[in-house]
Amino acid sequence: MAVEERFAYQTFRPGQRELAQRVYEACAGSGILLAEAMSGFGKTAAVLSGALAAAEETGCRVVYTCRTKRQIHRVVEEISRLQKKHPFKAASMLSKFDYCLLRRQRPVPQESFGWYCSFNVSNNLCSYFLNVPLVGAGMEEMVNGAVTASQTHSELLRASESLHVCPYEVTRLAMVQATVAVAPYHYVFDPRAAAVLFDRNSLDRRKAILVVDEAHNLRDFLRGIHSSTLTFDEVDGAVREAEALLMDEAAASLRTLREVLGRAVVGHASWLLDRQSILERFRDEKGTAWLQNLAFELSACSAAAWGSIAYERRLPSLVLRVGDFLAKLSAEGPVMVKWDRTMGLIDPDPVSGLEACLKEFKSSVLLSATINPSSVFSRSLGLAHAGTSTYEVKTESAVTVRTIVDKGVSTRYKLRTPEMFAKISDKIAAVVRGTDAGVGVFAPSYSVLGAVFDMVTKRVGDRHLVREVQGLSSQEAADVFDSFRSSEGSVLFGVQAGRFSEGEDFNEEIMGAVIVVGLSLPPPSPLLYAEYACLKRAGEPDSFLMLSRLPALRKAFQAAGRHVRSPGKRGMVFLFDERFDSQVVVDLMPSWLRSDLLVGDFTPQSLEGLAREFWAYQR
């Protein structure tokens, strides 16, 4: 079936048909396609149509993987629309924690949840799980409903509760049947979770087309799953948890661990630790398998489980955290570092297995709004020799964006003074006064956001201001979003790479300008040094660009494009930091962002004038 018939809408936007066709050709063949399309262009619908047409023609399935729940939700919305036009089976899967009905009986911290579920299942303590094979036709009906209808998450939970089955098991069985399966990165790239989808679910990678959304996040994601940190305070907390659950032996072993690690790490002069000699020290002092046994005991934690049930205590999370760290410490490969009272284990080459993983699939499509420069992008994912092809959707003519780089301010650490924050706030307030439209302000961190939010509030008291705070739940984030939308000309403060700078769409009616304040370069750390050293050894010429500058710029550009959501969109972007003023940065900008670019050290009055002039001209 042609891609046109697999497209959910009546007509294509500029560039969508070409992208769909390119994806179709890549998926019908084999190999890896890197595709760049700006945010809001409608790439999900285009990619789905191309991938689905190829999947049906070749007898394959599509696995569409996203970083966040919000992105999964968007893909599911597009699939539901497409299913109405042409029925096919599709399912999506979140983490087990999101589905669990048993945990309603007692609070379970997310970090202990994997263990909590497997403990209850393996000891026959979860009736929702035990009931799955006993409800026969009822279960079949639920699974069929899950693949053919766009059922909401809460509807699935309600239906599962009434049948008394685990909703995660319903979803897992639906994924087996689905032609398009949507899942978070974990189920594809984390070997521990991938078994659920590909082994237990008998989904054959060789007969699956993989689509990776927002693929510029992959390196960070892979670094996260292969790295671990542990502080001495956490080890002390684990001792207290073990004592509270009357796990006397484990508490004694944890005290020994604390003492041996303290001697090996605290007095060590360099940030780089010799992991092998630390393992040898444990072998010499405690015997060959002591550390591995302790890691197993703490991770399995069955004594703690029974203890927490018997004494109605909170499940231990620090005991599990120490167990996880020790398991990684004993495994092959990681580099060990330290800083302050923290130990870190890092895989200095987190993308080393990515090419092999992608090549297990029939074909792979990696999507991003910011691939430029594609050679660095490929190298940052370890795909330089993988024979990838690249496709860029040209969209700069579809939008009208004026970009102002203000080089008179900066959020460099050494320049973060009250005077600098006041200067930044004066400029933000000037832009806000210069437009009646909504404004998004995206800071590099919560601390910078907090500092400028209070100052801007005093300067533009007549405007409705809302802000993102750290650790918002989904409901709290929805409330902030609704509050921003409730009043015309509101100002939303968020952080770059946060919930609002990458997870939400702001259309023309509610946001007309974005101010990106500062560049969120990662702070220097031993974890970063170790990765730099690995790239240097491999002969990488652009390690600073790859690990620091480019990720920071991507966050800035993603935030800048938040309000550019459709063809014909008009808007302004203000980049407030001297570090945006360089030819290197301009060359790295997406074309829509640099097509009308003005650079200077502007006074608040001239910024207000520029904003007024732009909107007056546009009216």
| Cβ atoms 604, 596 nearer than 8 A | no
Candidate ranges 97-105, 229-237, 474-482, 548-556; the one touching ligand SF4 (CB under 6 A)? 97-105
Subset of residues 242 to 261 that bind ligand SF4, contact rule: CB under 6 A: none
Tokens of 451: 């500092």
- Comparing CA positions, the residue from 62, 32, 83 lying closest to residue 377 is 32
Residue type, 175: M
Candidate ranges 95-103, 398-406, 436-444, 508-516; the one touching ligand SF4 (CB under 6 A)? 95-103
Among the listed residues 120, 151, 317, 388, the single contact to ligand SF4 using CB under 6 A: 120
- Shortest CB 175 distance to ligand SF4, Å: 15
Listed in sequence order, the residues at least 6 apart from 478 whose beta carbon sits closer than 8 Å to its beta carbon are none
* For ligand SF4, the closer CB: 94 or 556: 94
- Shortest CB 70 distance to ligand SF4, Å: 22
Task: Check residue 100 for interaction with ligand SF4 (CB under 6 A).
Answer: yes
* For ligand SF4, the closer CB: 121 or 533: 121
Query: What is the sign, positive or negative, of the torsion defined by CA atoms of 364, 368, 374, 379?
Result: negative
DSSP string, 330-383: HSSS-EEEEETTEEEEE-S-TTTTHHHHHHTSSEEEEEES---SHHHHHHHTT-
Contact flags string 537-566 toward ligand SF4, x per CB under 6 A? ------------------------------
* For ligand SF4, the closer CB: 308 or 425: 308
Contact flags string 121-160 toward ligand SF4, x per CB under 6 A? x----x-xx-------------------------------
Candidate ranges 11-19, 119-127, 285-293, 489-497; the one touching ligand SF4 (CB under 6 A)? 119-127
* For ligand SF4, the closer CB: 131 or 231: 131
Q: What is the DSSP letter of 180?
A: E
Among the listed residues 13, 22, 61, 96, the single contact to ligand SF4 using CB under 6 A: 96
Integer CA distances (angstroms), 227 to 172, 212, 328, 422, 485, in order: 28, 22, 8, 38, 39
Tokens of 184: 């978070």
* For ligand SF4, the closer CB: 166 or 443: 166
Candidate ranges 100-108, 230-238, 464-472, 492-500; the one touching ligand SF4 (CB under 6 A)? 100-108
The distance of Cα 153 from the centroid of its chain, to the nearest Å, equals 20
Q: How far apart are CA 379 and CA 382, in angstroms?
A: 5
Listed in sequence order, the residues at least 6 apart from 566 whose beta carbon sits closer than 8 Å to its beta carbon are 13, 40, 507, 508
Subset of residues 337 to 366 that bind ligand SF4, contact rule: CB under 6 A: none
Determine the Cα angle at 535 with ends 534 and 536, to 5°. 90
- Shortest CB 120 distance to ligand SF4, Å: 5
Listed in sequence order, the residues at least 6 apart from 301 whose beta carbon sits closer than 8 Å to its beta carbon are 115, 119, 316, 319, 320, 323
Candidate ranges 16-24, 118-126, 285-293, 522-530; the one touching ligand SF4 (CB under 6 A)? 118-126
Phi, psi of 531 (to 5 degrees): -70, -40
- Shortest CB 119 distance to ligand SF4, Å: 9
Among the listed residues 12, 64, 115, 168, the single contact to ligand SF4 using CB under 6 A: 168
Subset of residues 437 to 466 that bind ligand SF4, contact rule: CB under 6 A: none
The distance of Cα 212 from the centroid of its chain, to the nearest Å, equals 12
- Shortest CB 201 distance to ligand SF4, Å: 16
Task: Check residue 221 for interaction with ligand SF4 (CB under 6 A).
Answer: no
Q: How far apart are CA 438 and CA 494, in angstroms?
A: 14
- Shortest CB 135 distance to ligand SF4, Å: 14
- Shortest CB 67 distance to ligand SF4, Å: 22
Candidate ranges 114-122, 332-340, 348-356, 497-505; the one touching ligand SF4 (CB under 6 A)? 114-122
Could you tell me whether strands 513-517 and 439-443 are parallel, antiparallel, or unpaired per DSSP bridges? parallel
* For ligand SF4, the closer CB: 117 or 460: 117
Among the listed residues 101, 260, 343, 452, the single contact to ligand SF4 using CB under 6 A: 101
| Cβ atoms 576, 406 nearer than 8 A | yes
Determine the Cα angle at 66 with ends 391 and 445, to 5°. 100
3-state secondary structure (DSSP) of residue 598: strand
- Shortest CB 174 distance to ligand SF4, Å: 15
Task: Check residue 117 for interaction with ligand SF4 (CB under 6 A).
Answer: yes
- Shortest CB 412 distance to ligand SF4, Å: 46
* For ligand SF4, the closer CB: 127 or 618: 127
Tokens of 608: 């207000």
Total number of residues that touch ligand SF4 (CB under 6 A): 13
- Shortest CB 478 distance to ligand SF4, Å: 25
- Shortest CB 185 distance to ligand SF4, Å: 20
Task: Check residue 170 for interaction with ligand SF4 (CB under 6 A).
Answer: no
* For ligand SF4, the closer CB: 132 or 546: 132
- Comparing CA positions, the residue from 159, 112, 34 lying closest to residue 300 is 112
* For ligand SF4, the closer CB: 271 or 306: 306
Q: Which residue, chain included where needed, has tokens 């200077």?
A: 600
Candidate ranges 117-125, 251-259, 416-424, 493-501; the one touching ligand SF4 (CB under 6 A)? 117-125
Helix extents (H) in 245-317? 248-261, 275-286, 290-300, 302-310
| Cβ atoms 570, 596 nearer than 8 A | no
* For ligand SF4, the closer CB: 101 or 527: 101
* For ligand SF4, the closer CB: 128 or 325: 128
- Comparing CA positions, the residue from 66, 13, 65 lying closest to residue 41 is 13
Task: Check residue 166 for interaction with ligand SF4 (CB under 6 A).
Answer: yes
Q: How far apart are CA 609 and CA 598, in angstroms?
A: 14
Residues that bind ligand SF4 (CB under 6 A): 96, 99-102, 117, 120-121, 126, 128-129, 166, 168
